[in-house]
Amino acid sequence: MKTKLTNQFWDVAIDPCTGAMTRLSHPGDSHGMNWVCSPSENLWFSSSNGWGLGYCKIPSMGGAAALRWQVPIRLTWQGHSTQRVLYRLGPIEICVTRRLHVARLDETFVFHNTSKIAQPILDIGLFTPFNDNYPDALTCVTRRCHAHVWCGGHAAYVCGLRMGGVAPHLGLVLTDGFIGGYNIEGRGWLTTGGSNNRGTIVLNSKFQTLAPGQSHRIAWTMFWHTGWDDFKAQARQIPGFVDVQAARYTVVGKERPQITISERGARIEKPVGDIIKVRLAKSRETWLRVQRIENIARLVQQRVAFVADRQQVLDRRSRWYGAFLSYDNDLQAQFHNPKWGDQNEGRERVGMGVLLAQAWQRWQNPKTAVAVRRHHRFVRTKLQLPDGTVLNSVGDRQTQRLYNYPWVAQLHLEMHRAFGQAKFLTDAGRTLRQYYQRGGAKFYAFPIPMVDAVEAFRAAGRKREAAELLRLFCEHADRVVTTGTRIPSHEVNYEQSIIAPATLIPLEAYLLTRDEKYLRCAKEFLPLLEAFNGRQPDHHLHDIGIRHWDGFWFGRQRLWGDTFPHYWSALTGWVFYRYWQATGDEAYRQRGREILLNNLSTFRPDGSASCAYIYPDAVNGNPAHCWDSLANDQDWALVFLLQAARLDPAFARDRWS
């Protein structure tokens, strides 16, 4: 049986048992990358989630239960350019057609009511399992993709980017129908190996009622492109595509959104919350999401006050006295799970102390000083040994986690900057030396405060210690240069917060030495880091790095799935700031600003916060598209914001109020 569609631009394989696409590649790709998941390459992948399969709810066939089309009743071919697959779910026939048009691949789904009565169809889901997963760094940069999804109603698309940033890349643009959101299926420990797989992206269409003999059509076209600019340029030539953009996706104070739309005659409606609807010709619609922050300085101060007032352990009898803990916004109470590392009293939660030390430097609220000094005593006496060893949690001398060291070192540095006491600087140096004694030069921790540490020791007249730290930092940067993209696995095999330090470490070494080899290394990693970032018209997505496991590890609801934003995406904003500092490239300062501002959706005007926004409509059938109830470790986003304002005073002057 024939199983392929081929021409000079496309190599497409079809599973004859399911009718799903199992291979989609470019014949001229030297890496032979397959852009769709298939069991032959990804052993964990289930063929029941194959590309072009899907589900819908037909009330006459079982009420609220979703029915899947999986086994075709007929497959037909027309040469090497066209293939049709016919499925049946009771009274509804689903015909999937794939057709090659030279450099385009069209895919069409037609739902036809064969019965003599009207048939409502609910919750149509179309499986598009992009090969978006992390087996290892070398495989990722050549044979895996980031799928940047925009479900904008009648203007929907996916911009697929090879993780290594090298073309060809794959684009998908809706040409008929409505895609209003997406789900994630097949996600979790048993199905996809935890954090290293994004799961199957399922594009969602809206409710339809089909009269007898009536059909409903959803269609898209796919094409190869060289990057975001080329993707948009080609997409604008496709009938039905509408490009909606805002100059900024976070506006401050009375600033008005500046919106451009590629279709003439479009009408922009008044915002409802952060959603701005756009009415198009022929009763079509799309939208964008722009958030408004009334006053950034006030927002940060409210958050600092909330942490000091509600998230610190104040019971002197407690072994955690002085710690900052997570906070459950539903229960209005501190939340502490010492048996679950990502919800304990240490690790990323140290970021709250760093934030308060920074806030004291800017606003000098006496309550902030009391709270942060109390917290620092807790960290120095309960989470750290005299030799600088950082504990994973109080009393745990067995678990060693190198990520914790630079965070504690940064707390010490900010305490020294805030209060000027030499002991804080001594603690910072001891912590950083211990990090390297434990093999930190082989590890991509983040953010290691290289520039801040060396400059602080130099300013204090402690030049010998500054020189020692500089030597350690340069040895680390040298290893990053030598290793290149052969990066070892960390807690996740490959992720934005591995590539960010791979870019940042040589950048900081360059700022300290002006050795061009470090800048060259950073420039080589920069496209890999940028590939994580989308350009969709939504403050949750625009220039926000793809992450999809943090809700499970850090949240109260324990949901896997795309986390947009997650505060570590602000790390990319800080990398862009350092790149601007190193090169003077103004575009990266502006992008750094906007990334940091887009992350402010995490914080509420009353000072409460959430650790994760689970962006998909549902994950494994569980409702999502919501903020997790837990405030946990998100305050690092504000740490980067205050660092940027210190480096770029015009940022605070121009945009904060």
- Is the pLDDT at 322 greater than 80, yes or no? yes
pLDDT tier, 62 (very low <50, low <70, confident <90, very high otherwise): confident
Integer Cα distance of 105 and 224 in angstroms: 10
In the predicted structure, residue 657 carries a pLDDT above the cut 70: no
The pLDDT > 90 percentage for the chain reads 94
Whether the CB-CB separation of 615 and 563 falls below 8 Å is answered with: yes
Q: Where are the beta strands (DSSP E) in 11-118?
A: 11-14, 21-25, 54-57, 67-69, 74-78, 82-89, 92-101, 104-113
8 Å CB contact between 23 and 43: no
pTM for the full predicted model: 0.97
pLDDT at 345 over 80: yes
Show the DSSP H helices in 391-515 as ranges: 404-419, 422-437, 450-459, 463-483, 496-513
Tens digits of residue pLDDT in 8-36: 999 999 999 999 999 999 999 999 999 99
Domain boundaries, given as residue ranges, for the chain: 4-241, 243-293, 309-438, 442-531, 536-657
**383, pLDDT greater than 70:** yes
| pLDDT category of residue 283 using cuts at 50, 70 and 90 | very high
DSSP SS3 for 396: coil
Is the CB of residue 58 less than 8 Å from the CB of residue 91? yes
Mean pLDDT to the nearest integer, 37-45:
91
| pLDDT tens string 153-177 | 999 999 999 999 999 999 999 999 9
Distance CA 159, CA 227 (A): 8
Average pLDDT, the chain: 96
Half-sphere exposure of 631 (CA within 13 A, CB side): 30
Residue closest to 4 by CA, chosen among 129, 130, 100: 100
Q: 218 φ, ψ to 5°?
A: -125, 130
Region 423-433: what's the mean pLDDT? 98
Please give the CATH superfamily to which domain 4-241 belongs.
Glycoside hydrolase, family 65, N-terminal domain (2.70.98.40)
**Per-residue model confidence as pLDDT tens digits over 469-501:** 999 999 999 999 999 999 999 999 999 999 999
pLDDT tens for 553-604 read: 999 999 999 999 999 999 999 999 999 999 999 999 999 999 999 999 999 9
pLDDT tens for 93-117 read: 999 999 999 999 999 999 999 999 9
Q: What is the pLDDT of residue 65?
A: 77
Q: Which residues 6+ apart lie within 8 Å of 191 measured at CB?
A: 44, 46, 199
Helix axis angle, 463-483 to 422-437, nearest 10°: 30
Q: What per-residue confidence (pLDDT) applies to 190?
A: 64
pLDDT band at 648 (very low <50, low <70, confident <90, very high): very high
Task: Tell me what pLDDT residue 193 has.
Answer: 65
Query: Per-residue b/e over 59-71, b at no fewer than 16 CB within 10 Å?
Result: eeeeeeeeeebbe
What SS3 state is found at 204?
A: strand
Q: What is the per-residue pLDDT for 391?
A: 98
3-state helix, strand, coil in the chain (%, to 5): 35, 25, 40
CA–CA separation, 181 and 156 (whole Å): 9
Q: pLDDT tens across 533-565, in order?
A: 999 999 999 999 999 999 999 999 999 999 999
User: What pLDDT, on the 0 to 100 scale, is given for residue 654?
Assistant: 78
The single-letter DSSP state of residue 487 is P
pLDDT at res. 51: 98
Q: Which residues neighbour 27 within 8 Å (Cβ) at sequence distance 6 or greater?
A: 6, 8, 9, 10, 11
